[in-house]
Structure 1
Amino acid sequence: MTDNLELSHQQERAFQPQRLSAPRDFMQPAALLKPELSLVLEIGAGKGKHALSFAMQNSDKYLIAIERTRNKFEAFKKLAAQQNSANLTAIHADAIAWIVHAIAPNSIDSIYILYPNPEQHNPNQQWLNMPFFEFLLSRLQAGGKIILATNIETYMDNAEQQANEVWCLPNTRSQVASSSQRTHFEVKYLARQETCWELSMKKPKGYQTRFDKWTTDTLTI
């Protein structure tokens, strides 16, 4: 643990997971009880374009994809049932509350946050600006990655700055290839010849958060 890291995110206002109730009808997917699985998380899966493709192309990984909006989730759920991938679970819930009650520390291999709401009028709700991001990092394995994509350059500028200055995460910023088709938003933006950006952040070995041993009574892992 570096002095720089001690003076950065652990100086920030702490997230308070104990205040969050479990989502309605909450159930832990059976996959979370199997430590041998390589777990991947997608936050804001939309209608599931990336999740469905990822599950087909990565049979060695288990993807849990969360979507809060009901109409998008219902479309995703229907497509997921048709594809019937054994390595995919679609979850309808608020991602923050669900992660707090479902995911154990140091258990996720990688996390995808593709084209989130840019929250241009409420920057405190951007993912890397939220105290919750520290909790999210505690769920990630050492060496694991968070992949963020957006078509809003100012959002990406801020995310890159926060990754460097607050969260002290090694990261790589790149331009998304014009041929990429991971999500419906990505297809639309690239078709309009907009630039899309990706930030890949890695959790270093020895990285510490204030939630590394924090669980709820719900957790059984």
Structure 2
Amino acid sequence: MSSSALSHRNTRAFRPEMLKAPRDFFVPEIVHQQNASNLALEIGAGKGKHALGFAPAHPDTHLIAIERTRTKFEAFDKLASKEALPNLTPIHADAIAWSVHALPPASLQHIYLLYPNPEAHNPNQQWLNMPFFEFLLSRLQSGGKITLATNIESYMDNAEQQATILWCLPSMRYKVPQNSARTHFEIKYLARGETCWELVMQKPEGYQTRFDTWQSNKIA
């Protein structure tokens, strides 16, 4: 891989060893399965609308859906328990700490970041501006994808630029169809007549990060 494709190595490095595992931490059994090639992660699952729709529509993919806010997670978990979908695992935790201690390198096929907090007053906390994004890429399989959706055009403009210039990821930007209903936020924004955007990024074959061999000792 050319030096230009490693431009992210000039950024401040994320330090996974500094993070403690979340309270009540556990690693789902699906993560330990050697043939679990179709593993997906949703960060910021909210009340679970996308996850609960995704799982039955993609029976060959196991989705781990993480939500940090207790009230939202409890609503999600209640619905998930009722549906009892075998390929859906809800997780109540901070997504960064959980991902560091639960996910082996190159374990994910797809990552969903649907309508994250736009962090208007703290852009350094936007996903593609964070050093953690490099670690997240190390958990993605070659050819794996990250889907980001937002109704904030400036957020999407920055994400598209960072994907190309900083992270050297091929990407495609789309307008979300007006009849899309993946999340409660998406439904609300489209009903108000707003434009929603989606950026689909792909990890190229041979892509390198500084965390390709790093693994937490919590992963047995």
TM class, shorter-length? over 0.9
> Aligned-pair distance for 1:77?
0.2
Q: What is the match of residue 214 of structure 1?
A: 214
Q: What is the match of residue 176 of structure 2?
A: 176
SS of the equivalent of 1:24 reads coil
Map Cα deviations across residues 141-182 of structure 1 (whole Å, 9 max, x no partner).
000000000000000000000001000000000000000000
SS of the equivalent of 1:90 reads strand
Map Cα deviations across residues 30-82 of structure 1 (whole Å, 9 max, x no partner).
11111212100000000000000000100000000000000000000000001
Q: What is the match of residue 102 of structure 1?
A: 102
TM-score (norm. length: structure 2): 0.99
> Aligned-pair distance for 1:97?
0.1
Map Cα deviations across residues 98-157 of structure 1 (whole Å, 9 max, x no partner).
000000000100000000000000000000000000000000000000000000000000
CA distance in 2, matches of 1:145, 1:68: 23
Runs of 4+ in structure 1 over 2 Å off: none
Question: What does 1:65-76 align with in structure 2 at a 5 Å threshold?
Answer: 65-76=65-76
Q: What is the match of residue 146 of structure 1?
A: 146
Supply the AA of the counterpart residue of 1:28: V
Supply the AA of the counterpart residue of 1:178: Q
> Aligned-pair distance for 1:3?
1.8
CA distance in 1, matches of 2:158, 2:42: 21
Count of residues in Structure 1 that have an aligned counterpart in Structure 2: 219
Question: What does 1:22-33 align with in structure 2 at a 5 Å threshold?
Answer: 22-33=21-32
Gaps of 5+ in 2: none
Which is worse superposed, 31-40 or 46-55?
31-40
CA distance in 2, matches of 1:185, 1:74: 18
SS of the equivalent of 2:189 reads helix
CA distance in 1, matches of 2:126, 2:3: 26
CA distance in 1, matches of 2:60, 2:207: 26
CA distance in 2, matches of 1:166, 1:3: 12
Q: What is the match of residue 187 of structure 2?
A: 187
What's the % identity of the aligned pairs? 66
Q: What is the match of residue 83 of structure 1?
A: 83
Supply the AA of the counterpart residue of 1:27: F
Supply the AA of the counterpart residue of 1:92: H
CA distance in 2, matches of 1:47, 1:96: 19
> Aligned-pair distance for 1:219?
1.4
CA distance in 1, matches of 2:183, 2:31: 25
Q: What is the match of residue 16 of structure 1?
A: 15
Supply the AA of the counterpart residue of 2:199: L
Gaps of 5+ in 1: none
SS of the equivalent of 2:59 reads coil
> Aligned-pair distance for 1:25?
1.1
CA distance in 2, matches of 1:100, 1:122: 23
SS of the equivalent of 1:63 reads strand
RMSD between aligned residues: 0.5
CA distance in 1, matches of 2:115, 2:2: 32
